[in-house]
Structure 1
């Protein structure tokens, strides 16, 4: 049974990494090969399947994570991250630092991918940890939870946008309805989770090399205007391109240019160039010093990228092994409310495959025939599928490894933190979707 294969593979992976202390990159590749053999993928094809998985995952994330890490390190080594962190502390106070993280993350995360927003904001979170003396998860976890919620629930993020196209739903209406669910649910979990006893018992240190250890005097730091301008520059480019894409129809060189500079890699590359000048020659730092910051960031990211790439290989083996087709066939005959069915199929696919995008696309295809004549608003169905796709993030999800490595957690600790919060977000999201559908039905009477 394919789902049994998934369960056993996860247990083997946990055993290799926790008991055998095997490196995450090697453990993921070994388990991926084992699953490929069990699922009947021809031996001659396995190297190509692994390569495609690694290439697809690294292709999607290397530029984003690499450039973002360099921007963050340049800002940290110049004092710009400390300047922003200090202003957030002045505005919210040390007692409300978590609220500051939630507000910042939700505003940035509405239009930016989880990985991009995470890489941009995490240096500020690290700096706040150092300045306030708070625990890393106390400050960083609200940021990650808020970003996860925005990314998984709302367009223009890829999953919800793809499902909206399948269901012929309005992207604007989906975003509008989704905000009423995502904001309260995300804020509630973001502020609750760090307070849970099993989370407070963890005290990971900030990973070395990702942020400057120096504490700057006020006169040594760049001004707040420049610091914020560089931090928000990619946000403006990416968000602007998303708004144009949702509101302007047609084709032409101007729209192509907007899409080009609004793509995450290009926006971050332009931001890095701006940061190199603004926090280098403009304030008297040599280009050699700035280059040292970039090199340090790249070296610190090497193992993180390897582990994320291996996670992509594991995910691709599960997909190529036919597990998504098995789940699709098994759920075809279920007699359940279309909303709950859409959510449940997305959850099962997410657990089995790790890919939220594969989960939402497959789930939407299964429930699409049920939408016609059901009377359910298509936007609500989009939200049902989308919030189901966030559940049970674990070792076959490359985002899990990004979270684990940046917060310096063991595999078991990362499961305790991330797998639990993503699952609760999905369950509360389903409750919000059902409540929203009931509200729309009442208002339409």
Structure 2
């Protein structure tokens, strides 16, 4: 199929997906499957092969992500229910003092955001944001924007979050490398889109900073007494343990040159084993069961209840990720990536910038950062394979693009709007602009680092 035909098929398919979700209000997973079938027909995939392609896409995507995503949800819930997340936030805020509260909340949110998914981190931290704002007699957004910047950057750049994890798997990237480069990039990006962007936002939309938010729908939040919370050190170790294990393995691979994960002795192979994403997450969950539960005197039944309850909210998200994988596989089997690769060979554009642009366009169209990222892999994979592009940076470029300009077809847009009591216009000029700053600054840092790799 010609490039024009491929682009037309993809554009029409995305338009149909938008109509199904926004206009007809169909469930996102169902909409993705319907769209995948239609896209398969547009791309001339034989009808008898379309459903097999969809099943293959769901299976190959969830086969890897389900383990890490499920264990990540368990780790986050154990940290939350065990009081570890509250301890991290309260200790940092206390140590930094009132003058540097914004920096305290961004560091706390960054640490907590590694272990907790964005929506969970938002629900957990926003009562604390409101409490601090009231105590300091400042706008809730002055504390909320740095928090959201840190949560969003971990969501888009760092495993074990679903987006970067799935993208890394689809591009055959080393998750440890993605994590290492992701942290290097995420820290300055969080600062730019948090405290620094805050100063600009106050001038652009001052009315938003006079609004009072409402979190009554969250109900009564559990308040931990001093004795109920674990120590700060133990809480941070629990949150960062999977990161430390994966980074240890990656650094050793870089030192030894054994980037295929095959060492020359038992000790080296053991480090690689505990540093794989699945093993690191499993070890971290087992550690959290003790650090946030049993060592705190909790009964095993209560601790296991946290583990069980962590899975219920992510069931539909797993299906949506699977649906995104189905759409991705249809694009691959329909030859979209190969056709674009052939056209791309005639251009001088950086594959990293191209990946960011495709992800950004799909993010604006689809709303979901995760689905946009997964769909982009089908288009960018052949280009990455046929160039000297650093694959880990390609993962991050897609992640950065998938965060751009959150708007009305993104659940986080409405959560931010309602919790902070903003109008739609004010939400565009705060949350949507924040995400755009984050995305653009992200690709700038990625392109800069690519000059040295």
For normalisation by structure 2, the TM-score amounts to 0.70
1:239, distance to aligned residue in structure 2 (A)? 1.4
In the alignment, is residue 323 of structure 1 matched against residue 336 of structure 2?
Answer: yes
1:26, distance to aligned residue in structure 2 (A)? 0.8
Taking the TM superposition and a 5 Å limit, the aligned residue runs for 1:196-235 are 213-235=221-243
Which residue of the other structure, out of 82, 89, 109, is the alignment partner of 1:78? 82
Find the residue that maps to 2:116 and give its secondary structure: helix
Distance (whole Å) between structure 2 residues aligned to residue 238 and residue 406 of structure 1: 32
* Partner residue in 1 for 2:369: none
1:131, distance to aligned residue in structure 2 (A)? 1.9
1:387, distance to aligned residue in structure 2 (A)? 6.2
1:289, distance to aligned residue in structure 2 (A)? 0.8
1:418, distance to aligned residue in structure 2 (A)? 9.0
Deviations 1:109-166 (A, max 9, x none): 9xxxxxx9353787665433222325796355312443367559xxx99869x7999x
* Partner residue in 2 for 1:3: 7
Cα gap change, 1:140/1:46 in structure 2, threshold over 3 Å: closer, same or farther?
Answer: farther
Check the 8 A contact 1:2/1:323 in 2, yes or no. yes
Distance (whole Å) between structure 1 residues aligned to residue 36 and residue 378 of structure 2: 18
Find the residue that maps to 1:239 and give its secondary structure: helix
In the alignment, is residue 279 of structure 1 matched against residue 295 of structure 2?
Answer: no
1:297, distance to aligned residue in structure 2 (A)? 0.9
Which residue of the other structure, out of 321, 330, 348, is the alignment partner of 1:308? 321
* Partner residue in 1 for 2:382: 362
Cα gap change, 1:34/1:67 in structure 2, threshold over 3 Å: closer, same or farther?
Answer: same
Question: Aligned residues, how many?
Answer: 398
Which residue of the other structure, out of 56, 61, 64, is the alignment partner of 1:57? 61
* Partner residue in 2 for 1:265: 278
* Partner residue in 2 for 1:253: 266
Cα gap change, 1:304/1:224 in structure 2, threshold over 3 Å: closer, same or farther?
Answer: same
Cα gap change, 1:261/1:191 in structure 2, threshold over 3 Å: closer, same or farther?
Answer: same
Distance (whole Å) between structure 2 residues aligned to residue 394 and residue 43 of structure 1: 34
Deviation larger for 143-152 or 69-78: 143-152
For normalisation by structure 1, the TM-score amounts to 0.71
Distance (whole Å) between structure 1 residues aligned to residue 311 and residue 249 of structure 2: 28
Distance (whole Å) between structure 1 residues aligned to residue 392 and residue 73 of structure 2: 33
Find the residue that maps to 1:61 and give its secondary structure: helix
Cα gap change, 1:228/1:203 in structure 2, threshold over 3 Å: closer, same or farther?
Answer: same
Cα gap change, 1:13/1:100 in structure 2, threshold over 3 Å: closer, same or farther?
Answer: farther
* Partner residue in 1 for 2:345: 332
1:287, distance to aligned residue in structure 2 (A)? 1.0
1:354, distance to aligned residue in structure 2 (A)? 3.8
- Taking only aligned residues, the RMSD between alpha carbons, in angstroms, comes to 4.7
Deviation larger for 49-58 or 277-286: 277-286
1:23, distance to aligned residue in structure 2 (A)? 1.0
Which residue of the other structure, out of 9, 18, 23, is the alignment partner of 1:19? 23
Find the residue that maps to 1:389 and give its secondary structure: helix
In the alignment, is residue 346 of structure 1 matched against residue 360 of structure 2?
Answer: no
* Partner residue in 2 for 1:371: none
In the alignment, is residue 129 of structure 1 matched against residue 126 of structure 2?
Answer: yes
In the alignment, is residue 141 of structure 1 matched against residue 138 of structure 2?
Answer: no
Check the 8 A contact 1:163/1:361 in 2, yes or no. no
Distance (whole Å) between structure 2 residues aligned to residue 297 and residue 183 of structure 1: 28
Cα gap change, 1:239/1:427 in structure 2, threshold over 3 Å: closer, same or farther?
Answer: same
Distance (whole Å) between structure 1 residues aligned to residue 105 and residue 145 of structure 2: 10
Unaligned runs of 5+ in 1: 110-115, 166-170, 369-377, 441-445
1:222, distance to aligned residue in structure 2 (A)? 2.1
Deviations 1:381-408 (A, max 9, x none): 996x56653454289xxxx9xx857985
Check the 8 A contact 1:83/1:222 in 2, yes or no. yes
Deviation larger for 313-322 or 342-351: 342-351
Check the 8 A contact 2:149/2:438 in 1, yes or no. no
Deviation larger for 77-86 or 272-281: 272-281
* Partner residue in 2 for 1:244: 252
Distance (whole Å) between structure 1 residues aligned to residue 255 and residue 443 of structure 2: 28
Distance (whole Å) between structure 2 residues aligned to residue 78 and residue 20 of structure 1: 41
1:264, distance to aligned residue in structure 2 (A)? 1.9
Check the 8 A contact 1:52/1:313 in 2, yes or no. yes
Find the residue that maps to 2:11 and give its secondary structure: helix
Which residue of the other structure, out of 19, 42, 47, is the alignment partner of 2:46? 42
